[in-house]
Amino acid sequence: MSPSNPSRPRRGQWNGSRPDLGRRRLLLALATAPALGWAAGPVPHGVRYAEVRPRPLVFPRDHGAHPDYRIEWWYLTGWLDAEPGPLGLQVTFFRTRTPIDPANPSRFAAHQLIIAHAAIADPVRGSLLKDERVARTGLGLAGASESDTDVSVDRWTFRRDPDGRYRCEIRARGFDLRFTATPTQPLLLQGEDGFSRKGPRIEQASHYYSAPHLEVRASLTREGHTLEAPGRAWLDHEWSSTLLDPEAAGWDWVGMNLDDGSALTAFQIRRKQTGASLFGYASLRGPGSARVQTFAPEAIAFAPLAYWTSPRTGARYPVAQRIRVGDRVFETEPLFEDQELDSRASAGAIYWEGASRLREFGRLVGRGYLELTGYAAPMRL
């Protein structure tokens, strides 16, 4: 973002030459090193961020923004069943409370920023189509409601209707995207009733819930052609003020909609020196059931199956992984290999985040997204 004019919306390049913002990379902005994995920086004088503590989540209020916390995102990933083949879909809206002194009375003081990112994973193209926006709140360019999901920046919007349906409109450089995402299952509260640990210390946590198995109806226009496609998506809403352990280099994360209606979440935080797991978590909710099974760090293991090396950055990513969750073993398979995101000019990280298939005993059982950070370099801003 441009410090000389932070109120002006900023556009990414269609050809991928300019970095974009993806999911937990905005958590990187909480550290001096997605959202995670970093040493805590000093809190500026006068700034007091809300602390994450176990509490019941209350809806619809907790669908909305939490401006006292340092960082927050509404992050939707999914697959569109298009012709001649499937497409991956990402839309993310971030809200971040900046370190500007809240006592600063200027209406131009950027106390809160809204950042949005959209990407289409197209295997025919073999790379991501992407664009981004950023603007401060308070000047009519961006905002986030505290009463329900209603976040916008420039002419990009993501809103939740009273009936629970999400509506999104993105007018990006090179493509237009509109979709509805309708819940088919109850919300999935991650961790302990929405209190999600992110490290060995209790303060390393977030409030976190997911909405798996959203039924999507999308309209995608690019190069003068409009495609109408159904699909299935996953929404994460998460907010926090705290950082992960300073020994963390990065993380591996999956959110997967299984074909039988189950929903799988799993992540591991990796150590800087050895790459070994520092902390892990997984949840598995069965089909047609509100019961959620959660797994302790020792019951979770990630193991690489295949690597891809970026020709641009030289980073080597384990883009296919074997993931053990309790007594079940899953394998991921990328829609295509080059799903690297470079955000060095914004959040400061290079990482891989891509549409992936999920297999069990060689059989296709689901689809979702895999995210890999800290492979180009340990996370730092």
Q: Please indicate, yes or no, if residue 20 is contained in any of the structural domains.
A: no
Residue 192 gets which letter from DSSP?
Answer: B
Task: Write the CATH number for 334.
Answer: 2.40.370.10
Q: Cβ contacts of residue 309 below 8 Å, gap of 6+?
A: 315, 316, 317
In tens, the pLDDT along 299-354 reads 999 999 999 999 999 999 999 999 999 999 999 999 999 998 776 645 456 788 89
Q: Please indicate, yes or no, if residue 213 is contained in any of the structural domains.
A: yes
Range of weakest confidence among 27-36, 129-138, 337-346? 27-36
Question: At 39, is the pLDDT very low, low, confident or very high (cuts 50, 70, 90)?
Answer: very low
The answer to whether the CB of 258 falls within 8 A of the CB of 358 is: yes
Question: At 41, is the pLDDT very low, low, confident or very high (cuts 50, 70, 90)?
Answer: very low
**Count of domains for the chain:** 1
For the chain, where are the alpha helices, taking DSSP H only?
25-28
**Coil, strand or helix at 28:** helix
First and final CA of the chain: distance in angstroms? 13
Q: What pLDDT score was predicted for residue 18? A: 37
Stated pTM of the model: 0.86
In tens, the pLDDT along 166-215 reads 999 999 998 999 999 999 999 999 999 999 998 888 888 999 999 999 99
Residues of the chain above pLDDT 90, percent: 62
Q: Which of 39-53, 195-209, 246-260, 318-332 has the highest mean pLDDT?
A: 318-332
Q: Please indicate, yes or no, if residue 52 is contained in any of the structural domains.
A: yes
Q: Please indicate, yes or no, if residue 210 is contained in any of the structural domains.
A: yes
Q: Please indicate, yes or no, if residue 7 is contained in any of the structural domains.
A: no
Q: Please indicate, yes or no, if residue 246 is contained in any of the structural domains.
A: yes
User: Domain limits at 101?
Assistant: 25-373
Q: Please indicate, yes or no, if residue 85 is contained in any of the structural domains.
A: yes
- The better pLDDT of the pair 377, 76 is held by 76
Question: At 35, is the pLDDT very low, low, confident or very high (cuts 50, 70, 90)?
Answer: very low
Q: Please indicate, yes or no, if residue 306 is contained in any of the structural domains.
A: yes
The answer to whether the CB of 231 falls within 8 A of the CB of 225 is: no
Chain CA centroid to CA 281, Å:
16
Closest residue by Cα to residue 80 from 220, 211, 185, 176? 220
